[in-house]
Amino acid sequence: MELTDARVAELERIAFQFAARVRTCDPEDNRRWLVELLPDPHDWFRLNFVLAAAVPEDRPWSEMTRWTHQTKEERESAVPLAFAIDPASGRVMKGCGTPAAARRHKERGEDLDPACRDAIRAENRLKKRRYRAKATAQLVTR
C-alpha cells in the first residue's frame, strides 16, 4: 500500500492517541481499540516507525518511561498530562493544567484541581495583560 501524507497523518493521530491511552487505559481495552482502528497488521508495523520518529533520542530511556514505575496517585500529582482520554467517547481531550480542562471541570460542576486552577489564573492574567496593552495602544494612537 502506498503511504500517502494523509495516511501518515492518520497514523500520527493514532500514535498520539495510543500514547495517551497507554498511560491511562486498560491494556486489553487498548488492544481492542488498536485492532479496531487498524485491522491490517501491516499498519502495526508502520505505526512503529511513526512512534519511533516521535521518541526524543537525547533523553535516557529511564527518564522517558519513569511514569511506568509510578503509582496512579504519583502520576496524577506529578506534572499534569497535556491530554486525557474521555472515558465516554474514547477521544483525546486537553489534560489537567490547561484552560480547556478547567472549563470542562466547570461545565461538569467539578471542583478545580490545583493544576487547572493555576491554568485559569494564568489565562486570566494573560487576558488582563492583553486588554491593558490594547487599551494603552488605543490611547497612544488616538
Question: Which residues are within 8 A (CB) of 8 and not within 5 positions of it... i.e. 6 or more apart?
Answer: 50
| Longest Cα separation, the chain | 65
CA angle 14, 19, 25 (to 5 degrees): 105
**Binding flag, residue 84, Zn ion (CB under 5 A):** no
Neighbours of 41 (CB within 10 A): 9
User: From the CB of residue 96, how many other CB atoms can be counted at a distance below 10 Å?
Assistant: 23
For position 20 contacting Zn ion by CB under 5 A, the verdict is no
Segment near Zn ion (CB under 5 A), from 11-19, 84-92, 99-107, 120-128?
99-107
Interaction with Zn ion in 48-67: which residues (CB under 5 A)? none
The single residue among 12, 113, 118, 123 that binds Zn ion, judged by CB under 5 A, is: 113
Find the shortest distance in angstroms from Cβ 112 to Zn ion. 6
DSSP, collapsed to helix, strand or coil, labels residue 93 as strand
Q: Which of residues 38 and 93 has its CB atom nearest to Zn ion in the complex?
A: 93
Can residue 47 be called a binding residue for Zn ion (CB under 5 A)? Answer: no
Check residue 101 for interaction with Zn ion (CB under 5 A): yes
Which residue bears the cell 466547570? 106
Q: What's the closest the beta carbon of residue 84 comes to Zn ion, in angstroms?
A: 8
Q: Which residues here bind Zn ion, judged by CB under 5 A? A: 96, 101, 113, 116
